[in-house]
Amino acid sequence: MLTLDQARTIIATARATGREKGMKPLSVVVLDAGGHVLAFEREDGAPVGRFGIAQGKAYGAVMIGVPSRKLGEMYAERPHFIGALGGVYDGKVVPVAGGVLLRDKATGAIVGAVGITGDTSDNDALAGVAGAEAAGLVGEG
Amino acid sequence: MLTLDQARTIIATARATGREKGMKPLSVVVLDAGGHVLAFEREDGAPVGRFGIAQGKAYGAVMIGVPSRKLGEMYAERPHFIGALGGVYDGKVVPVAGGVLLRDKATGAIVGAVGITGDTSDNDALAGVAGAEAAGLVGEG
Amino acid sequence: MLTLDQARTIIATARATGREKGMKPLSVVVLDAGGHVLAFEREDGAPVGRFGIAQGKAYGAVMIGVPSRKLGEMYAERPHFIGALGGVYDGKVVPVAGGVLLRDKATGAIVGAVGITGDTSDNDALAGVAGAEAAGLVGEG
Amino acid sequence: MLTLDQARTIIATARATGREKGMKPLSVVVLDAGGHVLAFEREDGAPVGRFGIAQGKAYGAVMIGVPSRKLGEMYAERPHFIGALGGVYDGKVVPVAGGVLLRDKATGAIVGAVGITGDTSDNDALAGVAGAEAAGLVGEG
């Protein structure tokens, strides 16, 4: 089980990583293993609609069991499949890097996902992986 | 009319086929002729969101009267049409192989569909057809 | 973590309880701790739309953390609150007995819920609790 | 404009108030003046679906310009009106105390809302008002 303290550590570290590397304002959500929101922060200066994008990256990852970067690669090969997932999961799938699976270090089990949006999607994912590691988890981004 | 015993046979055989051929954990739904859920099982280790994908493969098949594999082929020719069906049917269309029509052996009438997800979509469909045959039906996948 | 074997035991026992006590055809869903469908069966003779009712009983229970019977009692006192939950959870809340929380025997943690519909809601709940016990869990109905 | 630092202060103070007064685990969301999510935290032990309820309390308050407690009172007089708002605002209205308007101290302008759920709705609102004050705002709950 992911705790709120872990979620807060993930968000704090992702944000610190963004500041350190000069990224644009980040929005960071942490979802639990069932895809339910545990914590979220949107940095000042980010567009107002960022919650949905961050959630969509992380939610798709949890539902389908792969990082959102992989969903983007799958979209290139099979747009009809990945496109349809938006309907299946009520619009909450954003198949772009930045949705990082959170795995337990010992068992490898998925315990949730962090979704980040604000900078390039590669940088978003990088910040998410840093957050995962700070919380003692493996981040698969 | 499809019975629950037939649905259970379809699911048991599809799952046994998956285990025998070394497929990844399968999720299997059986819908009746009206597209309503009759039975479902999600094997341990499958991602949490599999019900929706299995349902989407089978639901599209029943609603449009062709296997979901055919919906994928139609998508390649007319993406605007098949893409729009996601809206028409409230997101419950996944145009990818694995949604197998169930037909009565004597009359050819559609009595439902089985939707499978977990392995390659060809393997998903193969497991569904095996299930259909075990239940005394024709599986059109 | 709830396993598929446990879910199948819950469904089989709930159905056997229904047959033994002369209940009408039952529909039984098992959801995991995140509210995602793990297994479902609809007995022959049940109306076609039963999946949604079974799911709504169990989903509301998992999301709000109380049995659906309790949601019905809360509705009598505060209809504006419980009524609004249908909107919050996208229509998937049926505040009527028959949505039974599944709790781990040792820790008391919610590991999922079983939702049953078909007979009186008291009988539905009774069948769900029997199922939970057969699977080595505590059923709070 | 509400800042993320203010939102974090609101959440931290609401949570501290809850701990101090022995409330059950709280979930706290802060929305901006447009009703968009700025920050959220769900304490360990809260049911998984709490984000939606917290959001619904705060969203209704911002959209209609009154605290969610007032929406509950309006519901008693005009259920057809307040009930219809769930449809208008896509299910995101929970007309129960705990959605506290955040107002600028100098101008009185609405700058957002905090939505809290977990304990009695009176206590939820009390924690939200404490959070507003700690952030230098007026909390109208």
pLDDT digits 0-9 by tens, B51-86: 999 999 999 999 999 999 999 999 999 999 999 999
Q: How far is residue C26 CA from its own chain's centroid?
A: 12
Q: What is the pLDDT along chain D (141 residues), one digit of tens a residue?
A: 999 999 999 999 999 999 999 999 999 999 999 999 999 999 999 999 999 999 999 999 999 999 999 999 999 999 999 999 999 999 999 999 999 999 999 999 999 999 999 999 999 999 999 999 999 999 999
Model confidence over B10-51: pLDDT tens digits?
999 999 999 999 999 999 999 999 999 999 999 999 999 999
ipTM reported for the complex surpasses 0.90: yes
- How many residue contacts between A and B have a Cβ separation below 8 Å? 62
Instruction: Please name the fold of domain C4-133.
Output: Beta-Lactamase (3.30.450)
Q: Which of A74, A62, A20 is closest to A38 using CA atoms?
A: A62
Q: Are D93 and D102 in contact (CB under 8 A)?
A: no
Confidence of residue B4 (pLDDT cuts 50, 70, 90): very high
**Min Cα–Cα distance to chain A from B6, Å:** 26
Q: Among B86-90, C12-16, C127-131, which stretch is predicted with the lowest mean pLDDT?
A: B86-90
The answer to whether C77 contacts chain B (CB < 8 Å) is no
The set of residues, in sequence order, having a beta carbon less than 8 Å from that of D42 and lying 6+ positions away, is A4, A37, A38, A39, D25, D27, D50, D51
Per-residue pLDDT of chain A (141 residues; tens, 9 = 90+): 899 999 999 999 999 999 999 999 999 999 999 999 999 999 999 999 999 999 999 999 999 999 999 999 999 999 999 999 999 999 999 999 999 999 999 999 999 999 999 999 999 999 999 999 999 999 999
Domain ranges of chain A: 4-140
Taking contacts as CB-CB distances below 8 angstroms, the residues of chain A near B90 are 87
CA triple C50-C55-C61, angle to 5 deg = 140
CB-CB neighbours of B140 under 10 Å = 20
Residue C103 and residue C138 in contact, taking contact as beta carbons nearer than 8 Å: yes
> Tokens 């999922």 sit at which residue?
C112
Q: Which subunits have 3 or more CB–CB pairs within 8 Å of chain B?
A: A, C
* Neighbour-count burial of B72, counting CB atoms closer than 10 A to its CB (0-12 exposed, 13-18 middle, 19+ buried): buried
Which residues of chain B does C48 touch, with a Cβ-Cβ cutoff of 8 Å?
32, 34, 36
- Are A78 and B95 in contact (CB < 8 Å)? no
Beta carbons within 10 angstroms of residue B110's beta carbon: 16
Q: CA of C4: how far to CAs of B76, B135, C37, C113, C140, in Å?
A: 36, 22, 10, 13, 20
Distance of alpha carbon A53 from the chain centroid: 9
Q: Which candidate, D22, D20, D89, places its Cα nearest to that of D61?
A: D89
CA distance D70 to chain C (A): 12
Of residues A63, A81, A88, nearest to B91 (C-beta) = A88
| C38 at B interface, C-beta within 8 A | yes
Q: Chain A: nearest CA to B75, how far in angstroms?
A: 7
| Integer Cα distance of B118 and B137 in angstroms | 23
Q: Which amino acid, one-letter code, is at D104? A: D
Phi, psi of C49 (to 5 degrees): -90, 20
pLDDT band at B89 (very low <50, low <70, confident <90, very high): very high
**What gap in Å lies between CA D128 and CA D8, rounded to an integer?**
12
Please report the beta strands in C7-61, taking only residues with DSSP state E, as ranges in sequence order.
Answer: 27-32, 37-42
Radius of gyration of chain A, Cα coordinates, nearest whole angstrom = 14
The answer, for D76 touching chain A at a CB cutoff of 8 Å, is: no
DSSP D62: H
Distance CA C37, CA C56 (A): 11
A-contacting chains (≥3 CB pairs under 8 Å): B, C, D
State the amino acid at position C116 in one-letter form.
I
**Nearest to D84, CA basis, from D103, D70, D71:** D71
Q: Any idea of the CA torsion for C34, C37, C38, C42, to the nearest 10 degrees?
A: 150
Question: Cβ distance C25 to C45 under 8 Å?
Answer: yes
Contact B4/C32, CB-based, under 8 Å? no
Neighbours of chain C (3+ CB pairs under 8 A): A, B, D
User: Is any Cβ of chain C less than 8 angstroms from the Cβ of B47?
Assistant: no
Region D4-140: CATH code = 3.30.450.150
User: Sign of dihedral through CA atoms B16, C7, A138, A116?
Assistant: positive
CA of A34, closest CA in chain C: separation in Å?
4
The shortest C-alpha distance from B105 to chain A (Å) reads 31
